Amino acid sequence: MYSKFAFGFVLFLSAFIFAQHSKTGNTVTAGGKPVHTYAKLPAVNKQAPGFTLTDVTMKDQNLDAYKGKYLILNIFPSVDTGVCSASVRHFNEDAANLPNTVVLCISKDLPFAQKRFCGAEGIKNVVMLSDFRSDFGKKYGVEITDSAMKGLLSRAVVVIDPSGKIIYEEQVADISHEPNYNAAIGAVKK
């Protein structure tokens, strides 16, 4: 009797957890093939979830360190791909012209790889941060949960105002495409 009850309870709990994940998960594509992320991006007009990420010197950086500034979170799978490196270069150029704004380029790349890339490319106007030892990908819903890219971050942009509120978000529909730079920059300029 108890074993049937326990089995039924485990089955119910598994179905409940699957249903909850199904409601919050998100589907994007990678080269036209569907991949799933942990959840949807945090909503506009909500407070940005806190995070702690690792910079290129292996020091922890958190959201609170940037309070009072506009933040553009440029989130992507790996700086060693063409589209990801293009987004870093693009935001590096735009960041130089935006007052009171910091661009955080966030991936699962190790800080050593991020530092190497920035040195080779002359990248100086963005902050490279690694999610290799944090839960940022889950908090922001961008961690990929299946496919060969499982564990990496999907391509997204989140803009946070000086009070810590999200004022713009874009989950790029296909990871192989670049984000809408003008919309992200425009959110800061409003």
Rounded CA gap, 65 and 24, in Å? Answer: 29
C-alpha pair distances (Å), 126 with each of 24, 101, 105, 163:
31, 10, 7, 20
CB-side neighbour CA atoms (13 Å) of 30: 17
Kind of pairing between the strands at 70-75 and 156-160:
antiparallel
Rounded CA gap, 142 and 51, in Å? Answer: 13
Question: Quick check: helix, strand or coil at residue 94?
Answer: helix
Q: Find the length of the chain.
A: 190
Which active-site residues does the annotation give?
84
Residues 6+ apart with CB under 8 A from 48: 42, 63, 71, 158, 160, 164, 165, 166
